[in-house]
Amino acid sequence: MTEPDRELIRVRGLNSFYGRKQVLRDLSFSVEANRIFVIMGMSGCGKSTLLKHLVGLKPSPPGSIYIEGKDISGWNHAQWNNYWLRIGILFQNGALFNSMTVAQNIALPLMVHTNLPKEIIEIMVEMKLHMVGLSGTGALMPSQLSGGMRKRAGLARALSMDPEILFVDEPSSGLDPITAAGLDELLLSLKETFGMTLVVVTHELESAFRIGDQMVVMDQGRIIAYGTPEEIRQMNDPRVQQFLSRRPDEEHRDYDSYISRLCKVKRR
């Protein structure tokens, strides 16, 4: 268990590019231990890219990301491996290995990184499946699971090594409200029961405000709000209020002029 209020991740002035296109602009925030940190924003605002930087799938410029006070930009292979053994990641679509059963997927990190006997690993796999509400599905192939089940199986795999930090990419996208609420409960219990630190990327407002201790709201690669859920709610920034009230942009709302423009083009 990690001690609360300890700064685990510090991001300072992070910029990121895909080719010449800048996708993240001067991001700065901190993630404390034993908290759920939520990254919110509209689709395409750079949330998943930020997550890739935090987990080391995209290289970061020197001095922009610190894990427990250490700059990750100069890490060698062994340091990355040590970090990856301490974290778990739930990818947006689960990223389960199609050629393995659900149980084999969850057992893989345990078989590679531990010397535990096969029987113990089987028990641990069943425990993780039970934890995410998928008991008895270990023998199924990922293709036999629904989208929600695949996501939960991905979560079980992310939890297999009992990570200190769990990164979750869009946990409730594509799920029905009841399953999404169940997943939120599970994430909260991971924090409360196991003292885990969670970094959750989402655009589901209800879910974000339910589970988040601290959050950032992003827009076009920038952080436009940073604070506790209450602080975010009370911000007067029009873009934050637009996001929180789920109002579409003016240009997207002007359906009549859009249709009349289309008709003119057709007549021509």
Partner 1 sequence: MKRLTDTFGFVGRWILGIFVGLGRIGIFFLSTLRGIAYPPSKTGLVIKQIYFIGHKSMFVIIFTGAFSGMVLGLQGYYALSKFGSEGFLGSGVILSLVRELGPVFTALMVVGRACSAMCAEIGIMRIDEQIDALRCMAIDPHGYLVLPRLMAALIAFPLLTHVFDVVGVWGGYAVGVKLLGVNPGAYWDGVYRSLEWQDIWMGIVKSLVFAVLTITISTYKGYYAGVDRGSRGAEDVSEATTSAVVTSSVTVLVADYIITSIML
Asked if 93 touches partner 1 (CB under 8 A), the answer is yes
Distance CA 148, CA 127 (A): 19
CB 177 within 8 A of CB 154: no
Asked if 57 touches partner 1 (CB under 8 A), the answer is yes
Distance CA 173, CA 184 (A): 12
| Segment lying near partner 1 (by CB under 8 A), choices 5-13, 53-61, 184-192, 224-232 | 53-61
| Segment lying near partner 1 (by CB under 8 A), choices 36-44, 63-71, 107-115, 203-211 | 107-115
User: If DSSP states are collapsed to H, E and C, what string results for 139-178?
Assistant: CCCHHHCCHHHHHHHHHHHHCCCCCCEEEEECCCCCCCHH
State the pairing for strand pair 87-90/165-169: parallel
Q: Binding residue for partner 1 (CB under 8 A) from 18, 120, 135, 238?
A: 18
DSSP 8-state secondary structure symbol assigned to residue 57:
S
Least Å distance, CB 92 to partner 1, is 7
Tokens 């410029």, residue? 61
Least Å distance, CB 58 to partner 1, is 10
By beta-carbon proximity to partner 1, the closer residue of 85 and 263 is: 85
| Segment lying near partner 1 (by CB under 8 A), choices 103-111, 176-184, 234-242, 249-257 | 103-111
Q: Binding residue for partner 1 (CB under 8 A) from 33, 89, 103, 244?
A: 89
Distance CA 180, CA 238 (A): 28
By beta-carbon proximity to partner 1, the closer residue of 41 and 154 is: 154
| Segment lying near partner 1 (by CB under 8 A), choices 3-11, 31-39, 106-114, 201-209 | 106-114
CB 65 within 8 A of CB 59: no
State the pairing for strand pair 214-219/222-227: antiparallel
Binding track over 125-164 against partner 1, x by CB under 8 A: --------------------------------x---x---
Which positions ≥6 away from 258 have C-beta within 8 Å?
none
Residue 18, amino acid: Y
Instruction: Enter the tokens of residue 167.
Output: 């990164």
By beta-carbon proximity to partner 1, the closer residue of 92 and 173 is: 92
| Segment lying near partner 1 (by CB under 8 A), choices 7-15, 84-92, 173-181, 247-255 | 84-92
* Footprint on this chain of partner 1 (rule: CB under 8 A): 18-19, 55-57, 80-81, 84-85, 87, 89, 91-93, 95-99, 108-109, 111-113, 157, 161
